[in-house]
Amino acid sequence: MAVERGGFSPDGLGAYALDELSEIRSTPEVIYARVFRRLRPRTKLPEIRVEYRKWANASANIKLDRGTLVVHIADVLERAPEQVTEALAEILLSKLFRRAVPRRSNDRYRRYLNRRDVRGAIDLVRVTRGRKQVDGMEGHCYNLEQVFDELNFRYFHGLMSRPVLGWSPRASRTLLGHYDSSHNTIVLSRILDRPETPRIAVEYVLFHEMLHLRHPAEHRGPRRCVHTAEFKKAESQFDRLSEAKAALREL
């Protein structure tokens, strides 16, 4: 129902035109209070404090501290639509109260993060605020520059531009390598830079991360597909693939 200037709407909002109504936005505290009441109807509503922080990513956290619900959110999400802020509130409060996260909220939030403009904004704060902790290319046993150049010639006709390469400061067994598109950096776990690690294992992990440059992640609604069909097909072309995977399992 249209509301004319100077008139009154049936719900008592008063003299607002439709375009003015569209600009009315609940504060984050009001949104979190609304979701809190929905999830915990028999619990007294606590004081709520929502703060936006200048972080280098799109993180958010929540805690109930001495009767105050404290929410910290990366400022890159400060201008998110109200529906997205409410979806994030449902995600955080559901986790706080150990409840299943509603799928609709998770999908809505993921769809927003996967928007091209939002991904660009997140990448920008990562570059301008973030610091990439990485050691040099020359390891104790393996030189990543040398391995990269050999793989580049063997699988990419020498046409791939070399990103920043480095060993991780810590020897992780769970994350053997990763490609950070924001900093155009490939990092391999220091655990691979040991005499007992066969070269084929180092080559395979580095080759896998190089494929992320050739086959970037695809965003399909709420889903972010990192290993696409094209990625997997290209990975299958790695020589002695079974031997390389077996060597990694030994780690």
Whether the CB-CB separation of 89 and 35 falls below 8 Å is answered with yes
Identify the CATH assignment for 144-249 out of 3.30.2010.10, 3.40.366.10, 3.10.129.10, 3.40.50.300: 3.30.2010.10
Question: Which position has the token pair 């609709």?
Answer: 104
For position 10, what pLDDT does the model report?
Answer: 31
* Rounded Cα gap, residues 137 and 165, in angstroms: 6
Give the pLDDT means over successive 10-residue stretches in the chain (251 positions).
31 38 75 95 92 92 94 95 96 96 95 90 82 83 96 94 92 89 89 94 96 85 80 94 92 78
Domains 18-129 and 144-249 share a fold: yes
For position 24, what pLDDT does the model report?
Answer: 64
**Helix or strand or coil: residue 186?**
strand
CATH class of 18-129: alpha beta
Question: How far, CA to CA in Å, does 80 sit from each of 118, 123, 170?
Answer: 9, 16, 36
| Every domain of the chain and the residues it spans | 18-129, 144-249
For position 126, what pLDDT does the model report?
Answer: 82
